[in-house]
A = this chain, B = another copy of it.
Amino acid sequence: MATTPRSMMDPAALDAVDAGCPARRLLGRLAERWTGLVLVVLADGREKRFSEVAREIGNISPKMLSQTLRGLERDGLVERRANGGPGGRPVYRVSPLGAEMMEPLGALSGWAYANREALDRAREQYDATPRSEAPAPIA
């Protein structure tokens, strides 16, 4: 493993000062609190109603679900059909664009999962070394 990286990254993709960089926009979206979860729930490709998504996630507030769905819709990754469900209720599903994105996203997630032990070990090791006090939380 660990193929020696030559260029490591396409400079065009992440050239970014930050503003217009599409990669940063995407990453930013994906890192929002619930975006990943909503994508997972919709990843099976089935159309789902608002309350279905909410129930599958379990503890998300309506405000955050709405916000998250509209964010994904705004980026064209999720589609909302107003009258798709029973009783003419709205349904959500991943768009073709979103489905395409699942592949590289899955690759990155898969990498994180495959290397979770290395990542955990790094964290433990870092935290075990007392820099002085309270180094860098996240979890």
Contacts and interface: CB of A to CB of B under 8 A. Distances in A.
Interface residues of A, number: 80
B119 A22 contact: yes
A73 B27 contact: no
Contacts of A70: 135-136
Nearest to A15: B40
List the number of copies, as a whole number.
2
Interface in A91-130: 94, 96-97, 99-113, 115-116, 118-123, 125-127
Interface of A: 1-5, 7-20, 22-33, 36-37, 39-40, 43-45, 58, 67, 70-71, 73-77, 94, 96-97, 99-113, 115-116, 118-123, 125-127, 135-136, 138-139
